[in-house]
Amino acid sequence: MTDAALPTIKLNNSNSIPQIGLGLWQMDNEKECRTAVEAAINAGYRHFDSAQAYGNERFLGDGLQDAYQQNPGLEREDIFITTKLRNENQYFDGVIPSFDESLDNLQMDYVDLFLVHFPVTELRRPAWHKMQEIATSGRTKDIGVSNYTIKHLEELLNECDIKPAVNQVELHVFLQQPELRQYCDDNGIIVEAYSPLAHGNGLEEPALVEIGSKYGKSSAQIMIKWCAQTNMVVLPKSITKERIESNIDIFDFELNEEDLAKIASLEKDFRTCWDPTNVN
Ligand SMILES: NC(=O)c1ccc[n+]([C@@H]2O[C@H](COP(=O)([O-])OP(=O)(O)OC[C@H]3O[C@@H](n4cnc5c(N)ncnc54)[C@H](OP(=O)(O)O)[C@@H]3O)[C@@H](O)[C@H]2O)c1
């Protein structure tokens, strides 16, 4: 296990979130998921991004139980856990029972961050009241949203008692979303970059390969570094030990102005996942 602590970012209620987390989407194979969690803990990850919809909260919980046994001194408080409210559970009376089930699967009495997974029309506003109730009970340290556009955030900020701590959205060098990032920044909401490797697309982009070669880094590391250097939380997913290790090994260099300008020019509004733009 590495001793170097991962950089953290302060959330708006002053809790801290490790800047890199292992993404767990498409890890619904138990062995794969538990092996990835073990490799991540050994590489120094302390942040895991799960969701009710990923079907792996139980595997993550089991993987962490193994990790506590294998690493004396490692405790629940050292780990940052995110899970997300499944769309089908966003109806008013469904929120709290589904959260209880998540805690049961994870074998925890609290999570660090609980997110509304997607801004489902007509369900997201009442669901937020229940999210706030869970936050007030202390069973999640923070609440936040995912896949929210500026329009959805404006609606929420106009009527919430507890502001979202984060907005987790697709964000990478080919989908840079500057207006959304600025809006979140202005309102004290941390942006979490999901699919930071564009789901594995575009890693052969010559500009990224060239920038990487200057620093002895891969194009994947440059993509992750760009998110981290622009103050986002980054959630790369991998089931491969070597990739899990290299995806976190990005804190020993800085991109310079010229690199950042080259990366800015890679924007092409390229989405690999859900597009919430036209969701009312
Ligand atoms: N809130 C949401 O709606 C939402 C939506 C999508 C994603 N997310 C979150 O964001 C996380 C990451 O997104 P993602 O899974 O779409 O994709 P990603 O992290 O952008 O890319 C993952 C893909 O890249 C490969 N990969 C990982 N590291 C690599 C490296 N160093 N070199 C080459 N290839 C590499 C992985 O392969 P291997 O696994 O085979 O190594 C996998 O195929 C998810 O797991 C989830 O936690 C959230």
**Which residues make beta-bridge pairs with 81?**
48
Residue type, 102: S
Nearest to 103 by CA among 128, 129, 76, 123: 76
Question: Would you put residue 144 in left (φ > 0), alpha (ψ -120 to 50) or beta?
Answer: beta
DSSP string, 201-264: -STT-HHHHHHHHHHT--HHHHHHHHHHHTT-EE----S-HHHHHHHT--SS----HHHHHHHH
Q: Is 274 exposed, middle or buried (0-12, 13-18, 19+ CB in 10 A)?
A: middle
Q: Is the CB of 25 under 6 A from ligand 1?
A: yes
Q: Catalytic site residue 68? A: no
Q: How many CB atoms lie within 10 A of CB 14?
A: 6
Q: What is the pLDDT of residue 1?
A: 43
Phi/psi at 279 (5° precision):
-85, 120
Number of other residues whose CB lies within 10 A of the CB of residue 207 = 15
* Atom 11 of ligand 1, nearest CA residue: 23
pLDDT, position 14? 86
Contacts of 3 by beta carbon, 8 Å cutoff, 6+ apart: none
CA 168 to chain CA mean position, Å: 6
From the candidates 45, 54, 183, 194, which is the catalytic residue? 54
State residue 22's pLDDT score: 98
Does domain 8-200+231-238 correspond to CATH entry 3.40.50.300? no
Give the containing element (helix H, strand E) for 111.
Answer: strand 111-116
Report how far ligand 1's centroid is from the alpha carbon of 46 (Å): 17
- Residue 273 burial by CB count (10 A; 0-12/13-18/19+): exposed, middle or buried? middle
Candidates 50, 90, 194: which one to mutate for ligand 1, based on the most atoms within 8 Å of Cβ?
A: 194
Q: What residues does each domain of the chain span?
A: 8-200+231-238
Q: How far apart are CA 176 and CA 264, in angstroms?
A: 8
Q: pLDDT digit of tens for each residue in the chain (280 aa)?
A: 444 578 999 999 889 999 999 999 999 999 999 999 999 999 999 999 999 999 999 999 999 999 999 999 999 999 999 999 999 999 989 999 999 999 999 999 999 999 999 999 999 999 999 999 999 999 999 999 999 999 999 999 999 999 999 999 999 999 999 999 999 999 999 999 999 999 999 999 999 999 999 999 999 999 999 999 999 999 999 999 999 999 999 999 999 999 999 999 999 999 999 999 999 9
Nearest C-alpha neighbor of 197 from the set 172, 229, 216? 172
Please report the pLDDT score of residue 4 as a whole number: 59
Distance 136 CA to ligand 1 centre (A): 32
Reference 37, options 237, 250, 177, 206; nearest CA is 237
pTM of the model: 0.97
Give the residue, by CA position, lying nearest to ligand 1 atom 15.
237
Residue whose entry in the numeric block shows the structure tokens 């805690």: 103
Q: 55 CA distance to ligand 1 centroid (A)?
A: 16
Residue whose CA lies nearest to ligand 1 atom number 13: 195
